[in-house]
Amino acid sequence: MEPVRNKYTMRKATGKAGITLMTLFLMTGLVSCNSSEDPNLTWLLGLADGTSQSTTGQVSSTEIPFSYNIDNIQQGTGDFVFETNKSIPVEILVEDPDGGVQGTRVLIRDANGERVLFRAVTDEAGNATGVVTVNQDEQSAVIEVEYNGQTLYVDLDITDVLQATVTVLVRVRADVSEIADADGDGVPDNEDDYPQDPDRATVVRVPAEGFYRVAYEDLYPKRGDADFNDYVVQVYHEQDLNASGKLVELRSYYTHIAKGAGYDHTLHLALPSEVSGVATVVRKDASGTELESQQLNISSGNAIDILGRSNLTISSSNTAKDQTFVMGHSAELTFLPDAPVALQTMGKAPYDLFIKVLNTGHEIHFAGRYFAEDGSDKYIDSAGFPWALMVPDYWQWPYERANIHDGYPAFDDWYLSAGTESKNWYDSPVAEFVFPAN
Ligand SMILES: [Ca+2]
Ligand SMILES: [Ca+2]
């Protein structure tokens, strides 16, 4: 198909219907939703006794003068659930002297400017709302606003931030321009990850590079021995977002990488109960040969089977000193929701990824998700420890008979400070205690 020239104009939110002939040009999208009613945001905010911090700035070094205001809700104490990543809801409002500006492209990159964390186009009120998922030790990000053919930059401090609201006030009125947009979704061809598909605009990878490693202790409800090598899997996600920034397809990739346990396990994923759709799981052996494919209708939080019995999905425990690392089986999940889903509704990767221990019949989930009637976390043990950890892909699990305290001396600083110190504890392993799995 030949690209067509579409007219677009950024439009005043306060304008009346007559001026409504706008078309947005979207770079890529992100969520548009009322965050105050969002259950996941409520959950996030409920975790902390947050405080607010406001930052303002004036910028006129570009040809387009603008000012900005950032309201951050900062993380308080008492909400530590052993998380090494964080998802930050971000709301951005772009205004000019006449009010909110529709059709402005908004992009958030990491501090290096290399990885796209979030992309959206402002809605009719001038708002773009989404979620940025980064490691806990990430301290800053950069917001880019495309305006009248120029890029406005705002630095965003995300240290300990639970939620950010950013208002960008541009002192010149929005222009009208033209874009080549073959599929007519409002995202220019050169920025559209799916230039021929009006239902998709952006691919966001989570994590932005590499994998997460997820490690489980399997003695639940008994305390574990803190070796975090009983069942280890690595995972990454690709989210397809439409032009308004909602999730239209999720692809998740799982590989079994260690089994330092006598017990056997299976791996499962539960999506939020309000999300429904069709899941397809393709399972492959260690050489990448397809073993089976399974399709399942998902609703009401019913779980998706990801990987089968752990004694059959890897040929080595990958936990002994004389072993060479081998990869286990893998699974590729494709989930097509019945309707586009706000990223805040989806929650934070790796979502509710859990194991079932076949020998005990127990499920093991991440902390922070399931609570007993007395309010206690079902997946924090009597010593205040979780049975599941998620870490970046260069984390190496302890050898058999070693534990995470030996392997990562800074781990104790991290959890004893409730996550405020040594946020990058996994960067400093002690080689004699950890399996060289890279
Ligand atoms: Ca397009
Ligand atoms: Ca498209």
C-alpha 203 – ligand 2 centre gap (Å) = 11
Identify the pLDDT of residue 25: 26
Q: Are residues 175 and 246 in the same domain?
A: no
Residue 204 lies in a domain: no
Q: Using the mean position of ligand 2's atoms as its centre, give its distance from the Cα of residue 337 in Å.
A: 18
Residue 205 lies in a domain: no
Which phi and psi (to 5°) does residue 18 adopt?
-55, -30
Query: Is 438 within a domain?
Result: no
Domain that holds residue 257: 210-433
pLDDT of residue 56: 83
* Nearest bound ligand to the CA of residue 191: 1
CA distances (Å), origin 218, targets 82, 201, 352, 377, 379: 17, 40, 16, 17, 11
Instruction: Scan for tokens 């058999």, then name that residue.
Output: 400
> Residue 157 corresponds to which tokens in the numbers above?
């401090």
Q: Which residues surround ligand 2, an ion (CB under 5 A)?
A: 183, 185, 192, 194, 197, 201
| pLDDT (0 to 100) of residue 382 | 85
pLDDT at 137: 87
Confidence bin at 254 (pLDDT 50/70/90): very high
- One domain for residues 259 and 347: yes
The pLDDT score that the predictor gives to residue 43 is 36
Q: Would you state the structure tokens that stand for residue 102, as one six-digit string?
A: 């529709």
Residue 36: pLDDT band (50, 70, 90) is very low
Alpha-carbon gap, residue 297 to 276, rounded angstroms:
8
Structural domain count of the chain: 2
Which neighbouring-strand residues pair with 42?
none
Q: Compute, in angstroms, the gap from residue 239 CA to the centroid of ligand 2.
A: 14
Q: How far is CA 271 from CA 102, 237, 330, 391, in A?
A: 32, 14, 20, 20
Residues 282-310, buried b or exposed e (16+ Cβ, 10 A)?
Answer: ebbebeeeeeeeeeeebeeeebbbbbbeb
Who wins on pLDDT, 180 or 340?
340
- The pLDDT of residue 31 is 29
Residue for token pair 């040929």: 315
Query: Does 284 lie in the same domain as 161?
Result: no
Which of 151, 172, 199 terminates a domain? The answer is 199
Predicted confidence (pLDDT) at residue 38 exceeds the cutoff of 80? no
276 and 413 share one domain:
yes
- Please state, in angstroms and rounded to a whole number, the distance separating the CA atoms of residues 333 and 347: 17
CATH number at 48 reads 2.60.40.10
Question: Ligand 1 centre from 20 Cα, in Å?
Answer: 20
C-beta separation of 269 from 304 below 8 A: yes
- 138 and 274 share one domain: no
Nearest ligand to the C-alpha of residue 196?
2
Going from the Cα of 201 to the center of ligand 2, the distance in angstroms, rounded, reads: 4
Looking at the fold, whether 225 and 193 belong to one and the same domain comes out as no
Q: Which of 21-30, 103-112, 375-384 has the lowest mean pLDDT?
A: 21-30
* Residue 360 lies inside a defined structural domain of this protein: yes
Q: What are phi and psi of 45, to 5 degrees?
A: -70, -30
Q: How far is the CA of 4 from the centre of ligand 2 (A)?
A: 13
Check whether residue 180 and residue 219 sit in a common domain. Answer: no
> Which has the higher per-residue pLDDT, 14 or 154?
154
Are 298 and 402 members of one domain?
Answer: yes
Query: What are the tens digits of pLDDT across the range 42-80?
Result: 333 443 446 777 888 777 555 889 999 999 888 765 478
Residue 288 resides in a domain: yes
Looking at the fold, whether 192 and 302 belong to one and the same domain comes out as: no
SS3 of 21-58: the string is CCCCCCCCCCCCCCHHHCHHHHHHHHCCCCEEEEEEEE
Least confident residue range of 31-40, 98-107, 206-215, 307-316? 31-40
243 and 384 both lie in a single domain: yes
pLDDT of residue 76: 62
Using the mean position of ligand 2's atoms as its centre, give its distance from the Cα of residue 343 in Å: 18
User: Using the 8-state DSSP alphabet, how is residue 142 labeled?
Assistant: E
Average pLDDT of the segment spanning 419-437? 94
- Which single residue is written with the structure tokens 């009120």? 125
Would the pLDDT of 312 be above 60?
Answer: yes
Pairing of β 161-170 and β 85-96? parallel
Separation of CA 93 and ligand 2 centre (Å): 23
Ligand 1 center to residue 193 CA distance, Å? 8
- Domain end call among 199, 228, 261: 199
State the pLDDT at residue 334. 98
Q: Of 229, 90, 104, 88, which Cα lies nearest the Cα of 162?
A: 88
**Residue where a domain terminates, one of 199, 222, 241:** 199
Kindly give the distance from the C-alpha atom of residue 24 to the centroid of ligand 1, in angstroms, as a whole number: 10
Nearest to 15 by CA among 238, 210, 148, 176: 176
Q: Which pLDDT score is estimated for 222?
A: 93
Ligand 2 centre to CA of 181 (Å) is 8
Q: Are residues 215 and 139 in the same domain?
A: no
412 & 311 share domain: yes
Residue 68 lies in a domain: yes
Average pLDDT over every residue of 285-303: 96
Tell me what the pLDDT averaged over the chain comes to.
86
> What span, in angstroms and rounded, lies between the C-alpha atoms of 84 and 40?
18
CA distances from 303 to 82, 116, 307 (A): 23, 30, 12
Would you state the pLDDT for residue 142? 94
Predicted confidence at residue 60, as pLDDT, reads 57
Residues of 49-66 as b/e, b for ≥16 C-beta within 10 angstroms? ebeeeeeeeeeeeeebeb
165, part of any domain: yes
Query: What is the rounded average pLDDT of the residues 373-397?
Result: 93
> Would you state the pLDDT for residue 15?
37
